[in-house]
Amino acid sequence: MSTTAFSTALTEPPADTEEPVVDAPELAPAFARAHIDFAWRVARRLGLTPADAEDVAQHAMLIASQKVASLSAGSERAFLFRTIQFLASKVHRARRRHREEPEDAAGELADQGADPEALVAQRRARATLDAILSELTPDLRGAFVLFEIEGLSQPEIAAALGIPTGTVASRLRRAREAFTRIAVARGVLASPGEEPK
């Protein structure tokens, strides 16, 4: 290998890559604090492992930071969601097999000062939720996560997903029905007419 090729492989960006510019560096830290939890949750709810979610959340925050001044107020989460969804799809494609990684329970305990039993219950609940979400179609999953977990309004979701508001409402109804059906099949919910477990 020539020295030139050797060095170029590391230093030359692709020809079609624009030089990213942080458009308002003084705003970026506040932006990060305000939205990192959202980015993390969305990455996890889209099925990423903790390690991948960490990378994707940070990557998305950095991409968003390049546009923080030009994003209109209220559109940040929609932008972040689209970015995370895109990055997550790449990670999912890259992973030939899903590898479960242990979560940082010690870190969580230290973070939250949480009662260990409550923490275990929460982690189990999130794992169950993620298992159910993994059976939803990507369209329904995205709408469900943004509305039911992240609390975005239907117009915000419409903007994030690039679909009409009516379609959002339709997806949300179908997502809830599918969620219930999957939860029943998994024994999380009782079948209609059955006593709840």
Partner 1 sequence: MTKLKRWVDDSPPSAVLDLLQAARTEKAPSRVVSRTLVAFGTTSAASGVAAASGGAATASKLAPSIAAIVIKWGGAGLLGGSVVVGAVSAVNHHTSSSGVTHASRANLSPPSGVAGNPRPDLPRAPAAAAVESVAAPSRPNAPPVTEPRVKPGASSSHHDEASALDAESSLIGLAHARLRAGDGASVLELLSGYEERFSPPRFEPEVLYLRMQSAVASGDRANARRFAALIVKRFPTSPGVGHAEALLRAAGGAQGQ
Could you say which residues in the range 1-40 bind partner 1, by CB under 8 A?
Answer: 1-3, 5-14, 17, 19-34, 36-37, 39-40
Contact call for residues 119 and 112 (beta carbons, < 8 A)? yes
For residue 188 the two structure tokens come to 């999380």
Residue of 115, 116, 120, 128 interacting with partner 1 (CB under 8 A) = 128
For residue 175 the two structure tokens come to 């997502």
DSSP letter (8 states) at residue 147: I
> Would you list the DSSP string of 115-155?
-HHHHHHHHHHHHHHHHHHTTS-HHHHHHHIIIIIS---HH
> Does 82 participate in binding partner 1 (rule CB under 8 A)?
no
For residue 114 the two structure tokens come to 């949480």
Q: How far apart are CB 13 and partner 1 at their closest, in Å? A: 4
> Does 97 participate in binding partner 1 (rule CB under 8 A)?
no
Count, residues near partner 1 per rule CB under 8 A:
89
Q: What number of other Cβ atoms are within 10 A of residue 155's Cβ?
A: 12
Residue of 136, 141, 142, 154 interacting with partner 1 (CB under 8 A) = 154
- Per the listing, tokens 């117009």 go with 155
Residue of 51, 115, 134, 185 interacting with partner 1 (CB under 8 A) = 51
Contact call for residues 77 and 152 (beta carbons, < 8 A)? yes
Site for partner 1 in 169-188 (CB under 8 A): 169, 172-173, 176, 179-180, 183, 188
Q: How far apart are CB 162 and partner 1 at their closest, in Å? A: 19
Q: How far apart are CB 191 and partner 1 at their closest, in Å? A: 12
